[in-house]
């Protein structure tokens, strides 16, 4: 059991939800534990959890070397065991083919083209949360998955899907996330039975249906240079490839961002003072008549700092690579195909980098804070050739949508004192988190 304190070192109230990690999986899910273990073990630590032997990279320079070394280290999404999931799109490709697909999408997802995204994110958020019940607790992971899926589809992919498909997609997210995690983790041992295979296939069919609806209902920008238009034109003779790319963008856009929103809701419930501060900031910036250039994250520093702190404490705990052939990581020999994990969560709780690393303190990211901190040090979008192609869109969408949510609703945990567990998925979610989203 792990209980996190509030700002200023105050212990968590008995009424606040507690975060619990499974004892057998604590090494994988608990970044604070990883930080301690790796700090004692040196630059590279050989570990064993169940059938998996992994090499944990603790040295930041080695972490970058492994994360960026595509010729030596294979990213998880390119593993053959995930071919049914990644299909023929960019997520499952490697080398020049992967770089070519990313280069194709880059102009459409670059920051200069997305400067006017803020107002559409605000308006879509308000519409998507309008039906949230106000008089009873809601399942936060599901509702945030639904919200994020709608935002990605409407504001980034320029499309729509039916309400029923959106609901089913939000429900499928956790099944897909957990299923991909276990398919990859157990790929060296294919004889080990994987539970819920049928549920995974149904969830993948839901993702396919959502991607098809996005593809068919897509509304191109006037210049025809939005991301789906570019993908369509590049694969006129191979529509399946464009569909697989849309599917990859859709899942990637939902997966990590939904986790960020769910954990943000958790922390908003624990810290009503921060909720009040974000609402005041949102009232000043997100008015309906605000010009497009005014609805930007740089004008929401309190909200952006809150998102950075959520990422620091609750972001994806590690990235994974496998060496293509036997190699060395530092002085440590690593066999071909072994798991090499890059423990980002441990770096985010390193006391040499962050004062009071176990405290939730969004003010450490304030522009006037000293020493100044860079959100880039969190590796929120990965690193190397697999850096998230939608990073620029996410950096606009997440703060604006969170501020819009807090501007409209007051979030409080229900029932108080409930233990929140961490799910074992690609991006850990607060399992069992229910909250009331009362009308402001």
Domain harbouring 123, CATH code: 1.10.630.10
Task: Establish if 231 belongs to a structural domain.
Answer: yes
Whether residue 104 is contained in a domain is answered as yes
pLDDT at 30 over 70: no
CA angle 308, 309, 312 (to 5 degrees): 90
Model confidence over 81-124: pLDDT tens digits?
Answer: 888 898 888 888 988 999 999 999 999 999 888 888 999 999 99
Tell me if 1 is assigned to some domain.
Answer: no
Collapsing DSSP to helix, strand or coil, 341 comes out as strand
Taking the C-alpha atoms of residue 400 and residue 299, their distance in angstroms, rounded to an integer, is: 10
| 388 marked among binding-site residues | yes
Instruction: Give the residue with greater pLDDT, 188 vs 325.
Output: 325
Q: Please name the residues in contact with 331: beta carbons below 8 A apart, sequence gap of 6 or more.
A: 43, 44
In a domain, 116, yes or no: yes
Residue 264 CB burial class (10 angstroms; 0-12, 13-18, ≥19) = buried
Separation CA 370–CA 435 (nearest Å): 34
Residue 56 in any domain: the answer is no
Q: Which residue range(s) make up the domain with 25?
A: 7-43+65-439
pLDDT in tens, 368-408: 998 889 888 899 998 888 899 999 999 999 999 999 999 99
Do you find a cis peptide bond into 415, omega within 30 degrees of 0? yes
CA nearest 264: which of 406, 85, 114, 154?
A: 406
Q: Is residue 57 part of a domain?
A: no
Average pLDDT over residues 217-229: 95
* Domain contains 12: yes
Compute the distance between CA of residue 67 and CA of residue 385 in angstroms, rounded to an integer.
Answer: 8
pLDDT bucket at 5, cuts 50 / 70 / 90: very low
Mean pLDDT of 3-21: 40
The tens digit of pLDDT for each residue in 153-192 reads 999 999 999 999 999 999 999 999 999 988 887 777 766 6
pLDDT classification of 52: cutoffs 50, 70, 90? low
- Measure the CA–CA gap between 331 and 138, rounded to whole angstroms: 50
pLDDT in tens, 231-244: 999 876 677 888 99
- For residue 440, the model assigns a pLDDT of 85
Total number of domains constituting the chain? 1
Q: Say how far apart CA 277 and CA 293 lie, in whole Å.
A: 22
Tell me which residue of 19, 25, 46, 36 sits closest to 331, measured CA to CA: 46
Length of the chain: 440
- The pLDDT value given to residue 411: 95
């Amino acid at each position: 059991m792990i209980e996190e304190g509030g700002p200023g070192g105050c212990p968590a109230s008995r009424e606040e939800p507690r975060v619990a990690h499974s004892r057998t999986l604590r090494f994988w899910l608990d970044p604070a534990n990883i930080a301690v273990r790796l700090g004692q073990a040196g630059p590279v630590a050989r570990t064993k959890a169940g059938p998996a032997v992994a090499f944990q990279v603790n040295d930041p320079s080695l972490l970058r070397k492994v994360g960026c070394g595509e010729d030596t280290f294979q990213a998880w999404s390119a593993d053959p065991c995930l071919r049914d999931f990644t299909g023929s799109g960019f997520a499952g490709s490697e080398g020049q083919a992967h770089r070519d697909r990313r280069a194709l999408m880059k102009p459409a997802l670059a920051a200069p083209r997305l400067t006017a995204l803020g107002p559409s994110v605000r308006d879509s958020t308000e519409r998507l949360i309008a039906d949230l019940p106000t008089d009873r607790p809601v399942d936060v992971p599901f509702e945030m998955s639904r919200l994020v899926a709608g935002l990605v589809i409407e504001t980034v992919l320029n499309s729509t899907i039916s309400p029923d498909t959106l609901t089913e997609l939000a429900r499928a997210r956790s099944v897909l996330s957990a299923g991909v995690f276990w398919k990859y983790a157990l790929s060296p041992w294919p004889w080990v039975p994987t539970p819920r295979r049928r549920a995974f296939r149904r969830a993948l069919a839901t993702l396919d249906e959502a991607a098809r609806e996005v593809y068919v209902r897509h509304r191109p920008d006037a210049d025809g240079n939005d991301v789906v238009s570019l993908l369509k034109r590049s694969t006129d003779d191979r529509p399946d490839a464009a569909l697989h790319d849309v599917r990859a963008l859709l899942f990637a856009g939902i997966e990590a961002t939904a986790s960020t929103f769910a954990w943000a809701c958790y922390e908003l419930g624990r810290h009503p003072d921060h909720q009040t501060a974000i609402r005041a900031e949102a009232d000043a910036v997100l008015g309906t008549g605000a010009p497009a250039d005014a609805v930007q994250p740089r004008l929401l520093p309190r909200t952006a700092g809150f998102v950075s702190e959520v990422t620091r404490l609750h972001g994806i705990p590690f990235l994974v690579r496998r060496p293509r052939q036997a190699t060395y990581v530092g002085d440590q020999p690593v066999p071909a195909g072994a798991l090499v994990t890059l423990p980002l969560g441990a770096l985010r709780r390193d006391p040499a980098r962050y004062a009071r690393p176990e405290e939730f303190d969004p003010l450490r990211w304030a522009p006037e804070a000293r020493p100044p901190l860079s959100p880039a040090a969190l590796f929120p979008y990965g690193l190397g050739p697999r850096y998230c192609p939608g990073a620029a869109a996410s950096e606009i969408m997440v703060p604006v949508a969170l501020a819009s949510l807090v501007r409209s609703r007051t979030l409080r945990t229900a029932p108080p004192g409930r233990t929140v567990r961490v799910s074992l998925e690609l991006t850990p979610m607060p399992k069992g988190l229910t909250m009331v989203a009362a009308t402001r």
